[in-house]
Amino acid sequence: MKKIALFGICGKMGKSMLSELVLEKDITVVAGFDKTNIGTDIGVLIGREISGIKVTNNYEDIKDTKPDIILDFTGPEIVYKNILWAIENKIDVIVGATGLKKEEIEVIKEKSESLKSKVFIVPNFSIGAVLMIMLSSMAAKYFDNCEIIEMHHDKKKDAPSGTAIATSIAINERKKFNKNKFLEGENETLEGSRGAFSDGIHIHSVRLPGLLAHQSVIFGSKGQTLTIRHDSIDRSSFYPGLILAIRNLDKLPYFAYGLDKLIKI
């Protein structure tokens, strides 16, 4: 039986994943961590029976429950602190929150490996999105250039998305497209109109109500384009990937990045 502490339990993603996790036979949620609804029974959060487990914002309360794994769906303002605390306390952590800086990820990698505490950072739990990244990496070598358009709901706090950044990294490992943000003679008449620039690829972020999580990777070469697109239309799309991560965490090294580590094509 895997004992789970769910961080960000009161957020939309946290509640959505909690609703699914409580139905599993080999998993039990033993703690909930958040900055809101402190003292609320986690069963109340999802309209189920009282569980006796209350939301806390105290690390020591979490430690007392002796979780096997922390699932972190908090946000960029606290996720880094949460991960370092988990590492120092020898609690494995699966990170679904985005917004980590590259230098922070390097520190996390170093600490997890030196202290032998597992950290699995997953920018996107949707298996379809992971396949999009993998297929984009495969396609890259056949095209002259690439740009990414990612679209999310208007409550998302970071831009570009972790998935877009992960996609640009994966593509850049296969083929380097642009050394510089602008082509020779190119300029922006309106600053920012060419988007962000990550690992040789332009990324454009859209934030609108009505969206959830969507991304198009557009490749171009002489006389043709190829678009690889993925859409998450409901948060339940993330659950199969989350369960895959939980049940296979023991197979991974101390530090791993991306659900592709568990998917083969």
C-alpha to C-alpha distance for 63 and 61, rounded to whole angstroms:
5
Which of 15, 118, 152, 230 does the annotation list as catalytic? 152
Closest CA to 199 of 228, 227, 226, 175: 175
Report the 3 state secondary structure along 143-174: CCEEEEEEEECCCCCCCCCHHHHHHHHHHHHH
Q: Are strands 2-7 and 27-33 parallel, antiparallel or unpaired?
A: parallel
Q: Report the run of H or E that residue 21 belongs to, with start and end.
A: helix 12-21
The answer to whether residue 204 is catalytic is: no
Which residues are CB-contacts of 71 (< 8 A; sequence separation ≥ 6)?
4, 5, 6, 7, 17, 93, 94, 96, 242, 246
What angle do helix axes 102-115 and 79-88 make, rounded to 10 degrees? Answer: 10
Two tokens, residue 59: 């690390």
What is the Cβ-side half-sphere exposure of residue 95, based on CA atoms within 13 angstroms? 30
| Amino acid residing at 211 | L
C-alpha to C-alpha distance for 6 and 43, rounded to whole angstroms:
13
Which of 15, 118, 156, 202 does the annotation list as catalytic? 156
Q: What are the beta bridge partners of residue 71? A: 6, 94
Q: Are strands 55-56 and 224-232 parallel, antiparallel or unpaired?
A: unpaired
The answer to whether residue 156 is catalytic is: yes
Give the active site residues: 152, 156
